[in-house]
Structure formats: C-alpha cells, structure tokens
Amino acid sequence: MTLYIDVPWLLDVQDAALGNDDVSVTDYSALVAAVARHRTRMPTLATSNPDAAWRAAALLHTIVRLEPLPHRNSLFAAFVTGQYMEQSGEGIDPPYGALSDLIRKVRESRLAIYAISDALRSWRL
C-alpha cells in the first residue's frame, strides 16, 4: 500500500510527538518539500516505484536537513518515520538507539537517502 501524506498529516504527527510544547513551525516550505519529495515516483533511474522505506527515508532526510521547527527536529523526524512506516503497514523495530544514531548521521554527515531506506528496511517487523 502506498501512503501519500500531506502537510496536515505532518502537523498532526508534530502535535502527537511534541504535545503541548510550544514548538510552532518556522518554515512551512520545508514541510511542503518533505511532502513533495516522498511522493516522487522516480528516486533513481533504476527504481521507478519506491517502497515505504524509501518514502519514509525521504521524509526523515528532508525534515532533518531542512529543519522546519525552531528545535526538536530530530524527535519530529523520528516520529514521522515511525508513523509513516506503521501507517504504511510496515512497522519498524530498530535496535535501542539505532534510530537516534541514524538521525545524527543524517544531520552530521549528510548520510544518503538510500542508506537511510536500507536501514529502515532492515528494521521492518
């Protein structure tokens, strides 16, 4: 099943993830970019129909790199990734600390989206 999300979906996840914390979106264009990127049909010339892991990786990568919130973007990206995979029917169970490490690598070393999606695939339930 291919799940296409929109900005209101991201805002709902943000609300669930961050609760009553006063974390308002400072860059809505980053959310629009995340939505557009996960909807692409051709991530590479070799792959024209991306799976849920690639789409979740696109969301994670875009949120971490573009930082739509003033702070707590890593937590937001983690929740978006988990929710996207779960709602796509492909829940994940990363080893303790692995998702945090993956997000840190995206933030610090510009980890490629293909490595992110490979990690997500390896954590599928």
Looking at the predicted structure, is the pLDDT value of residue 45 above 70?
A: no
pLDDT at 96: 97
The model's pTM: 0.92
Cβ–Cβ under 8 Å, residues 99 and 41: no
Domains plus CATH for the chain? Answer: 7-38+48-122 (1.20.120.1870)
Burial class of residue 42, CB neighbours in 10 A (0-12, 13-18, 19+): exposed
Q: What is the pLDDT of residues 22-31, one digit of tens each?
A: 678 999 999 9
Query: Rounded CA gap, 26 and 4, in Å?
Result: 23
pLDDT at 122: 97
Whole-number percent of the chain with pLDDT over 90: 74
Q: What is the pLDDT of residues 83-99, one digit of tens each?
A: 999 999 999 999 999 99
Higher pLDDT among residues 27 and 45, named by residue = 27
Q: What is the pLDDT of residues 52-81, one digit of tens each?
A: 999 999 999 999 999 999 999 999 999 999
